[in-house]
Amino acid sequence: MDILGFVFLIVLLIMITILNLLFIKNLKNNNKNQIRHKLIFVLISIVLLALVITFYLFIQNAVLIDLMHLDIDDITNGGRVITLLIIILLNSILNIFISRIYLRKINKTNEIELIGKE
């Protein structure tokens, strides 16, 4: 791994950390501060990152290269930066969307429990 690869790895780790901190902040606002929800979201973030990378590689191979005959040269630094930016953008959008759905699900179960206790 060269210096650029190390920087990309650090950027991906920072991105996952920032998204998890935003999720924890929203979790505290909803009075749900359980370690279980935090760990589940960390696992979801890691799995989504792997899925986004797999999806990008599939799209790059199947659509860009085979159908459109376009090729992003991953050997050059410019191609690597473009690839990282696409992966970060897709992963950020998916993580924000999943965190909203997960927080909504947590809040609905809390409301149902409160109604049952009354």
Q: How many alpha carbons lie under 13 Å from residue 95 in its C-beta half-sphere?
A: 29
CA distance 73 to 65: 11
pLDDT > 80? residue 88: yes
- State the Cα angle at 4 between 58 and 99, rounded to 5°: 55
- Sequence ranges of the domains in the chain: 3-107
pLDDT > 70? residue 12: yes
Residue that wins the pLDDT comparison between 17 and 63: 17
CA distance 80 to 56: 13
- State the Cα angle at 112 between 108 and 113, rounded to 5°: 115
- The count of other CB atoms within 10 Å of the CB of residue 96 is 13
Full-prediction pTM beyond 0.75? Answer: no
- Sequence-separated (6 or more) residues with CB below 8 Å from residue 74: 80, 83
Average pLDDT, the chain: 79
Q: Which two tokens stand for residue 78?
A: 């410019």
Burial class (CB in 10 A: 0-12, 13-18, 19+), 91: buried
The pLDDT tens digits of the residues spanning 21-77 come to: 888 888 877 776 678 888 888 888 889 888 888 888 887 777 767 777 666 666 777
DSSP secondary-structure letter at 68?
Answer: S
The per-residue pLDDT for 11 is 86
Mean pLDDT value across residues 70-92 = 79
